[in-house]
Chains A and B, each alone.
Chain A
Amino acid sequence: MTFASLVLATALSLAGALPLGSPAPRATVKMKSAVDGKAVSIADVTGKAGTLVVFTCDHCPFARGWEARIVALADDYSQKGVGVILINANDPAQHEEDGLAGMQARAKSAGMQVPYVVDDTSNVARAFGATVTPEAFLFDRRGKLVYHGTVDDNMRQPDQVQHHYLKDALDAVVAGKPPALPETKSLGCSIKYRS
């Protein structure tokens, strides 16, 4: 890593989460997808109704617990004009299953149809200020961040969910309205940034 990139990485990691109203940072960075091997950027998947960026990974029990719901939302809202991209920014040196081969296996077993890409410097995640997996950033049709947070309020028991935070935000974006609850949180695994 060069001194300049170290300084950039440090600055980005200290920047905090992307503020509401911001456009997607580093949107033109091409990242390799584990689904079909193509290089895809956030700009490439931008939808007419909005764009959903989810930082997730393979090894984390929270990411795995929400995985089926994330994939279902991705499939459903892709049909409604929302562009979706799933990003793995973890360093596979810390968890081997977060490498491309593990991601390919995960994408296949989960039946992913949307891009599941490798942030191979972790700098896209740093630019978003993402710290946890899974963590969602939803942009409206004008490209402004309108929702940041978690999927719902019950990772372990899907049938016990009371608040479908991300689905509600997606419904609002598709309807051209601001989400009622723009920021939520959940416990989760820390993103294992590449150094």
Chain B
Amino acid sequence: MTRRASLLLAACLALGAGTPVRATEPGPTVSVGTLADVLAAARAPGARAVLVNVWATWCDPCREELPELIRFYRDRRAAGLRLVLVSADDPQDRDKVAAVLAAAGLPAGTPSFVKEGDDMKFINGLDRRWGGALPASFLFDGRGHERHWWGGPVTYRALDRAVAPLLPNPNETGRSRP
């Protein structure tokens, strides 16, 4: 079995046999990263809004929110939304993380990390109000300023409400420039 086929099989097993897998798209790449790597990916120029989501493969509410989170990203990335995913799994489980993200439909090229380094620095580096419970999501504007955070699963509607003010009006898309 090829490595890619193995990943797809693992993804099916991880999310259930009924979950569709986009076999025609290349899978996401997952890097081992520190807080500095995550912040660099979030603050890289070119985005109007950046959503950082911290999750883990063993976290049920995290896996449950992933499809909706990714669907929202797919719907808004053309308007300037960037998604940065950070897993709290063991760095040795990077392939498992990639398989779950692939099965959830994460587009290739989406910045994805398995966190390494001190937890407390990581938590406080994202938001001091966060206690460390998973999942958690943090919304930054295009200048890197935090605009909102969620402790617990997010919904498409909640994301839309918070992200919409940072993106161009859909009716004006095509007339405005990032």
Residue numbers of B with Cβ under 8 A of A are 54, 56, 58-61, 88, 90, 115, 118-120, 122-124, 131-135, 151-152
For B56, B115, B133, the residue with the greatest tally of chain A CB atoms inside 10 Å of its CB is B133
| Majority secondary structure, B binding face | mixed
CA distance A94 to B135 in the complex (A): 16
Type the 1/0 row for A134-173, where 1 means its CB is closer than 8 Å to any CB of B: 0100000000000000100100100000000000000000
Residue numbers of A with Cβ under 8 A of B are 17, 61, 94-95, 131-132, 135, 150, 153, 156, 184-191
Q: Could you tell me if A190 and B120 are in contact, using CB atoms closer than 8 angstroms?
A: no
Across the two chains, which residue of chain B brings its CB closest to A188? B132
Q: Could you tell me if B134 and A185 are in contact, using CB atoms closer than 8 angstroms?
A: no
Can you identify 17 A-B contacts, CB atoms within 8 angstroms?
A: A61-B56, A135-B131, A150-B119, A150-B120, A150-B132, A156-B90, A185-B131, A186-B119, A186-B120, A187-B123, A187-B134, A188-B132, A188-B134, A189-B59, A189-B133, A190-B134, A190-B135
User: What 6 A-B pairs are tightest by C-beta distance, nearest first?
Assistant: A190-B133, A132-B133, A186-B119, A131-B131, A131-B133, A187-B132
B residues in contact with A188, CB < 8 Å: 132-134
CA distance A187 to B90 in the complex (A): 12
Q: Could you tell me if B151 and A187 are in contact, using CB atoms closer than 8 angstroms?
A: no
Instruction: Report how many A-B pairs have Cβ atoms within 8 Å.
Output: 53
Q: Known interface pairs A61-B58, A132-B131. Does A187 touch B119 (Cβ–Cβ under 8 Å)?
A: yes
A residues in contact with B134, CB < 8 Å: 187-190
A residues in contact with B122, CB < 8 Å: 187
Q: Could you tell me if A184 and B120 are in contact, using CB atoms closer than 8 angstroms?
A: yes
B residues in contact with A189, CB < 8 Å: 59, 133-134
Across the two chains, which residue of chain B brings its CB closest to A129? B131
A residues in contact with B119, CB < 8 Å: 150, 153, 185-187
